[in-house]
């Protein structure tokens, strides 16, 4: 789905009795007052343009991965970005520790998978750079402080014995390689052109999402809640928690309660408090957007609905549109699409300025992310 508060979680359609626009230019109904919505000032968002270097780096990364998959190796020294195969055994104060030993491990140097550099020690991966296949050597690293995976190791130096089994070579970029490794393109020129277009679409989408996130935050600042529709907050809380439970179960294979304490490092009470705060802001934002839609006569045509529904289903990874519509609910889906249409209108009428207070990069809801590990 598109990012942004209104499309991150399925919204609940609420019938709103609109009072209209007051004499002072404010919009108001029974639930919310919007003090300003046109000309909202937001922090300037930079729009990234894809360069040829960006495309070549992406292609090189794919060639490196392909070389590893195909078992291509090279005799020269390992370089940053190369895939290598290693055996390693680690110890702290001469004693082995859990998770510190492995054989035949494939690692991409520079990926940040293993321990990073500290003020006193080089990083794990950078100390493999420069070595050749068949070499054995020892390195010293330092665990971060704190080290959440094993607090007993926090801040401690560790010794690792490394056996460099293989240094993989990148595949050669040819039309034949493209045809064999990409379903969309058959030549190198097609690949370069297609990647540039796809990457630009992604950057444009990221830009759009960030601008809308800034708009959402600003709209929350410039609107006031009179009261919440009956049951709306409770419904939203249930919906948000269900979304978390599904995500945690699918990606972490654990119960939400365990995830809250183990990964988010907080209590269920604190988590539930934040969920309720998010639910209230979501309802507030939905009401504000509905009010603006009514005032500006922004409606959802059947054509818009059918087009956007397909896009939403695709972005959500749904098997087909009908199953996605059944899962989300048609009313919820229409609300999401309408609210996004209003956000498009607000984006067209906002002012991006260097002087506006910058976003912290967190959701306006303040809800803990399932990406926190």
pLDDT, tens digit, 9 for 90 and up, residues 135-162: 999 999 999 999 988 999 999 999 999 9
pLDDT tens-place string over residues 97-112: 999 999 999 999 999 9
Kindly tell me if the per-residue pLDDT of 45 is higher than 70: yes
Residue 367: predicted pLDDT: 42
Average pLDDT over residues 61-70: 95
Average pLDDT over residues 286-300: 95
Q: Which of 206-215, 238-247, 349-358 has the lowest mean pLDDT?
A: 349-358
Three-class secondary structure of residue 189 per DSSP: helix
pTM above 0.85, yes or no: no
* Token couple for 47: 């729009």
Residue 355: predicted pLDDT: 66
357 — pLDDT class (breaks 50, 70, 90): low
Q: For residues 235 and 12, what is the distance between their CA atoms, to the nearest angstrom?
A: 8
Q: Residue 162: phi, psi to the nearest 5?
A: -115, 135
pLDDT tens-place string over residues 184-204: 999 999 999 999 999 999 999
Kindly tell me if the per-residue pLDDT of 365 is higher than 80: no
Percentages helix, strand, coil for the chain (3-state, rounded to 5) are: 45, 15, 40
Average pLDDT over residues 27-49: 94
Residue 41: predicted pLDDT: 94
Average pLDDT over residues 308-319: 87
CA separation, residue 39 to residues 62, 270, 297, 346, 348 (Å): 44, 36, 18, 8, 9
DSSP 10-68: --------EEEE-TTS-EEESSEEES--TT-EEE--PPP---HHHHHHHHHHHHHHHHH
Angle between helices 330-348 and 188-221 (to 10 degrees): 90
All domains of the chain, ordered by start, with CATH?
5-49+191-353 (1.10.3120), 73-167 (3.10.50.40)
Average pLDDT over residues 21-38: 78
Work out the percent of the chain whose per-residue pLDDT is above 90. Answer: 76
Q: For residues 162 and 86, what is the distance between their CA atoms, to the nearest angstrom?
A: 7
**Better-predicted residue by pLDDT, 8 or 132:** 132
């Amino acid at each position: 789905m598109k990012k942004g508060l209104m499309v991150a979680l399925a919204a609940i359609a609420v019938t709103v009795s609109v009072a209209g626009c007051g004499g002072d230019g404010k919009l108001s109904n029974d639930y919310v007052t919007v003090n300003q919505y046109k000309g909202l000032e937001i922090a300037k968002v930079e729009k990234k343009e894809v360069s040829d270097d960006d495309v070549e780096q992406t292609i090189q990364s794919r060639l490196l991965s392909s070389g590893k998959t195909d078992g291509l190796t090279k005799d020269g020294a390992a370089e940053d970005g190369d895939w290598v195969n290693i055996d390693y055994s680690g110890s702290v104060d001469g004693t082995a520790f859990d998770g510190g030993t492995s054989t035949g491990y494939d690692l991409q140097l520079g990926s940040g998978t293993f321990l990073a550099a500290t003020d006193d020690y080089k990083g794990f991966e950078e100390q493999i750079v420069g070595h050749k296949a068949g070499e054995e050597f020892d390195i010293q690293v330092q665990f971060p402080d704190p080290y959440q995976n094993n607090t007993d190791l926090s801040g401690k130096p560790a010794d690792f014995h490394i056996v460099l089994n293989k240094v993989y070579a990148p595949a050669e970029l040819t039309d034949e390689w493209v045809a064999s490794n990409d379903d969309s393109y058959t030549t190198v020129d097609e690949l370069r052109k297609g990647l540039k277009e796809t990457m630009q679409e992604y950057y444009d989408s990221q830009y759009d999402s960030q601008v809308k996130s800034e708009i959402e935050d600003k709209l929350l600042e410039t609107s006031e809640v009179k009261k919440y529709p009956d049951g709306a907050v409770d419904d939203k809380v249930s919906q948000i928690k269900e979304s978390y439970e599904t995500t945690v179960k699918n990606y972490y294979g654990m119960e939400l309660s365990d995830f809250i304490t183990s990964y988010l490092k907080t209590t269920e009470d604190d988590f539930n408090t934040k969920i309720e705060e998010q639910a209230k802001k979501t309802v507030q934002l939905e009401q504000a957007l509905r009010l603006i839609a009514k005032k500006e006569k922004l409606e959802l045509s059947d054509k818009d609905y059918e087009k956007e529904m397909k896009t939403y289903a695709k972005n959500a990874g749904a098997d087909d549109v009908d199953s996605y519509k059944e899962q989300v609910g048609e009313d919820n889906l229409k609300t999401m699409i309408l609210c996004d249409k209003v956000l498009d209108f607000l984006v067209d009428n906002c002012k991006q300025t260097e002087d506006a207070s910058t976003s912290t990069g967190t959701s306006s809801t303040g809800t803990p992310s399932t990406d926190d590990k």
